[in-house]
Each structure stands twice: as C-alpha cells, then as structure tokens.
C-alpha cells in the first residue's frame, strides 16, 4: 500500500502539491515512486521558468524506463531540489520529504482547488 | 508523472507454470514476447545485486525447447546452425546462431548434445514459432532425405535460471552432482518422478545453472531451490534485472542487437561461426564479412560524466567538430553495478575501437560517452 498524506493535494499524473503561502512545493507520490522503482536520474525544470499547468517540465529515469513529469499548477519555478541530481533515490526513500522536486510561485490559486483531494487520489490509485 | 509501463492485453498473454508463484512473491507482471512475466518483485537494482553478490532465481519458462534425434540429426543441425556441433561430446553445449541465406540472424540459441544422436536447442521465447517454421521448411524442402525426428517440446517444459556466485552451493543441496558440472555442460538428473536437464550456463555474466523441467514439476522445483537458497541470500529475480545483468555482461538480445537485418559478424559473434564447415546457411556472407570486414559493428559503451541513462534507438554521434551521426543505441540502461549509464549499439566500424570518444543524443542534447570492451562490467578478481 502506498502512503497518501492527507494534508496535500494531488494531480492525476501523480504529483503532489504542498501549499506554503504563495508558493507550492511539488514532488511525486509514494505510489508513483513505487511504480517507477529504482530512480536513476531526475531532470528538473530550470529556476525562473514559467510553467503552465499540464506542461511537461522534466524527466524521471528509473533503471527500466523514462517518464515525463508535468506541472500540476501554473507559476514560476523558484527553487529546485539539487540533492536529487546526485541522489535521485531520495525520491524513492522519502517522496514527501527529502525527495521533493521543485517549488513554484503560483499565480492561479483556483488551480490548486481543482487538484485531487487525498480521498480522490486514493480512489484513483486503487482502481 | 505518467509512467510508460502501461497495462497490456493481459488476457491474451501466455502464462508459465510459475505464474501463481510470481504473484505470491509480489511479482510485477509485464508483457514480454507474448508472455506475462515478472519484470521485478521488489527492485531491479536489489535483484541485480543479489545475482552479483549471492544468487537470483529467474523464471525462463517462456524460452523454447526443440529436440532432434536420429543418425542425421547432427548433420542437419550443422547445416542450419553457424557453430560446429562436431566439437561437442555428449553432455556438452555451445552458443550458436540460426541464419537466413543472406546471413541475417533468425535467432541466437544454445545447442546441447544430450547423447550420441540426440540434441536439444534452447531458443528465444519471441522466436519459437519463427524458428520452428524455418527449421521445418528446411527439413521438408532441402534436407528431406536425412534421417531424424524433430519435436518442438516448448509447451511441455518449464525452465528456470539460478545465477550468481552462490548458485553451486545452493543447487548442490538438491543435486550433489551439480557442483561438478563444467561450464556449458548439461546433465540429465532425476527430480521426483521425472528427468530434468541441468546445464551450467546463464545470461548474467555470473556462474550459474539453467534447469529445464516438465511443466508438472516446475512449481516444486522452484520451491525447493528457493528453500535451499533462503539462508544463502537467494532472491527471486525478474526480467528487469535479467536485462541489466546481460547488458553489463555485453550479451546480445534478439530484437535489440540481433535481428534479420544484422549478421553474426556485425554483431561481434564471429567466434560462434565455424567458417571451416563445408556448408551451412549464411556461410557466404559470414566468410566475406570475416575477410573484408563490415561497415558497422556492435559495440559496448559507457557514459562519461553526469547524464540520463542511454536508451534504445538514441543516436550515436562523432565526438568532433562536424558531429556526424554514426550509429544507434540498441540497448541502454543505468548500470546498477557501475552507477552510470551503459549500453550496446551499432556504430560505423572506424569508430568501434575501445577507447574511442563518442556522443549519445538524449532528448536533443548530446552527452559524452566512450566505446568500451565487452563485458562492460567485470567483477574485480
């Protein structure tokens, strides 16, 4: 079973979003890291990049396969988790903590409301 | 995040006798060559390391088995296969290839001499039907007068591979004679009520065994090996680890390094082509290419510095000013043993020398790499 914290919002493409004032921290869910297994390389968006919700903004490479990461909400990338460059496995070990991907200054608060609740995401994962 | 591992048409896939065993072990099932097979149980990297450090057990029941018997069995097989079966004593095996007239590879396989006039071929899962049709058509058209019986026994037999440095210790708990089996040799051993074949072969670059058993005993045999290996670090291993292990070892995989458009010589498998044989299908091309060389060659390579892992179909470029495209990646992965990207690919022959700098294009950027000798990974002695 995968861990789905109740204080986060989720995208159907398996990213989580934690709101902190006018910024949001983004990573991939425990379910996603379990599906991918053995992360080998993570390519994050550049700081300063303006993202629109749904944009492909990076790539996750497991030993087996490459997957795209998508921006769950719109805004400017203000920080990325550099530790993932040398230790991509952090996203396997601690997907909601040390394994966060990037921070965004969001500009459309309504998009956050439209994300999946933990309950809805749980339902999606369990189908 | 959207994963590329998508659900396949599960219902149409073939299942091995060990299917329920995989589910019970938490295997993640994927389609491979028309079969529903475990890609991993827990983690590709952990399973890979088990095989390198202790042992791993793989289900390879999807592979095909063909039996040939009769006074002309050797003659017939020596006409359709590239290697020389005359070099085998009963109980010995060899790597060999099945080629078209133009030298294109139909399949790569293992051929064992079981007895005086009895041979067993182990072929790739995805090639069973194609191989069998080709072999039958050769038999029925060009070699009708030869005396031999041939049987495709693939559906009646299951197989598993026990691989890793602790394999001999584990298997000798069940079969004391296994430890004395020489590399590439095969032995018929009694297990419960049936005979099984045990060979000292594998596809991982480690010591190990492959066991071929009637379907009915597969679950029992797997269970007993598993039990014998429990205290010795044996882990079930899936196709994911099988692929990273064989890539590190530099072994070709049909459909990647080998297909009907490639020849054994281009693939670097000239050592499995007995060009001194009077005749065999594909001989002319192999002889010419051995003498004159080929325009492209299969190589191993490693990434230099930080990059995403290389993947199949990525382009290989020259590492100088004009940056011409000179080849394609046929297999690529992050090497669990080395911690960086490695791969196999075809490259224009002048660039095939180990040590040559090349570049791999990954999502429109080029990253430095270097041609290396195979095996790409070798354990320190």
B3: distance to nearest CA of chain A, Å?
Answer: 5
CATH for B55: 3.30.1360.120
Q: Supply the pLDDT for residue B5.
A: 42
Q: Supply the pLDDT for residue A126.
A: 85
B256 and B301: one domain? no
Residues spanned by the domain of B238:
1-291
List beta partners, residue B186: B199
Does residue B378 sit within a domain? no
Q: Supply the pLDDT for residue B320.
A: 80
Q: Supply the pLDDT for residue B10.
A: 52
What end-to-end distance do the CA atoms of chain B give, in Å? 42
The minimal CB distance from B1 to the residues A15, A38, A41 is found for A15
Distance CA(B185)–CA(B113), nearest Å, equals 9
B130 and B178: one domain? yes
Does residue B38 sit within a domain? yes
Tens of pLDDT, residues B102-135 = 999 999 999 999 999 999 999 999 999 999 999 9
Residues spanned by the domain of A65:
9-108
Q: Supply the pLDDT for residue B8.
A: 46
Domain count across chain A: 1
DSSP letter string, B176-232: GGGGGPPTTBEEEEEETTEEEEEES--SSSS-EEEEEEEGGGHHHHHHHHHHHHGGG
Residues of B contacting chain A (CB within 8 angstroms): 1-5, 39-40, 43-45, 240, 243-244, 306-309, 311, 333-334, 336, 363
Assess: ipTM above 0.90: no
CATH for A66: 2.40.50.100
Q: Supply the pLDDT for residue B283.
A: 98
B210 and B198: one domain? yes
Contact between A64 and B44 using a beta-carbon 8 Å cutoff: yes
Top residue of B1, B6, B27, B360 to mutate, by most chain A CBs within 10 Å, is B1
Q: Supply the pLDDT for residue B11.
A: 62
B79 and B128: one domain? yes
B272 and B312: one domain? no
Tell me which chain A residue has its CA closest to the CA of residue B339: A40
B35 and B138: one domain? yes
B144 and B271: one domain? yes
User: In chain B, which residues have pLDDT < 50?
Assistant: 1-9
B10 and B131: one domain? yes
Distance CA(B252)–CA(B263), nearest Å, equals 12
B164 and B194: one domain? yes
């Amino acid at each position: 079973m995968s861990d789905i914290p109740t204080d986060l919002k989720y995208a159907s493409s398996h990213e989580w979003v934690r709101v902190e004032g006018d910024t949001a921290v983004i990573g991939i869910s425990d379910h996603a890291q379990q599906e991918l297994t053995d992360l080998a390389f993570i390519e994050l968006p550049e700081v300063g990049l303006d993202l629109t919700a749904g944009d492909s903004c990076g790539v996750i490479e497991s030993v087996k396969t490459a997957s795209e990461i998508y921006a769950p909400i719109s805004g400017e990338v203000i920080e990325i988790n550099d530790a993932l460059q040398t230790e991509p496995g952090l996203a396997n070990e601690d997907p909601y903590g040390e394994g966060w991907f990037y921070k965004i200054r969001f500009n459309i608060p309504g998009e956050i409301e439209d994300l999946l609740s933990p309950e809805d995401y749980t339902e999606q994962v369990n189908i | 995040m959207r994963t590329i591992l998508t659900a396949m048409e599960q219902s149409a896939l073939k299942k091995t006798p060990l299917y329920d065993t995989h589910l019970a072990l938490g295997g993640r099932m994927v389609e491979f060559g028309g079969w529903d097979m475990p890609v991993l149980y827990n983690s590709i990297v952990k399973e890979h390391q088990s095989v390198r450090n202790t042992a791993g057990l793989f289900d390879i029941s999807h592979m095909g088995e063909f039996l040939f018997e009769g006074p002309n069995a050797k003659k017939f097989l020596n006409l359709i296969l590239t290697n020389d079966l005359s070099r085998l004593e009963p109980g010995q095996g060899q790597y060999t290839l099945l080629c078209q007239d133009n030298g294109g590879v139909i399949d790569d396989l293992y051929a064992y001499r079981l007895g005086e006039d009895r041979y067993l071929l182990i072929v790739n899962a995805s090639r069973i039907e194609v191989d069998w049709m080709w072999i039958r058509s050769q038999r029925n058209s060009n070699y009708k007068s030869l005396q031999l019986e041939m049987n495709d026994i693939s559906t009646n037999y299951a197989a598993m591979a026990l691989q890793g440095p602790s394999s001999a210790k584990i298997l000798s708990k069940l079969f004391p004679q296994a430890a004395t089996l020489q590399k590439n040799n095969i032995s018929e051993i009694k297990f419960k009520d049936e005979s099984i074949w045990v060979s000292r072969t594998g596809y991982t670059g480690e010591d190990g065994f492959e066991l071929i058993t009637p379907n009915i005993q597969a679950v029992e045999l797997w269970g007993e090996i598993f039990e014998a290996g429990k205290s010795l670090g044996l882990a079930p291993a899936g196709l994911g680890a099988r692929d990273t292990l064989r890539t590190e070892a530099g072994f070709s995989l049909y459909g990647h390094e080998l297909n009907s458009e490639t020849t054994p010589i281009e693939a670097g498998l000239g050592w499995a082509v007995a060009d001194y044989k009077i005749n065999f299908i594909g001989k002319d091309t192999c002889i010419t290419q051995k003498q004159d060389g080929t325009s492209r060659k299969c190589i191993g390579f490693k990434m230099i510095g930080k990059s995403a892992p290389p993947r199949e179909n990525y382009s290989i470029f020259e590492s100088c000013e004009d940056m011409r495209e000179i080849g394609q990646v046929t297999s690529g992965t992050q090497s669990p043993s080395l911690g960086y990207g490695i791969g196999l690919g075809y490259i224009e022959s002048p660039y095939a020398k180990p040590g040559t700098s090349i570049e791999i294009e990954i999502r429109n950027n080029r990253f430095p790499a270097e041609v290396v000798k195979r095996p790409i990974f070798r354990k320190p002695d």
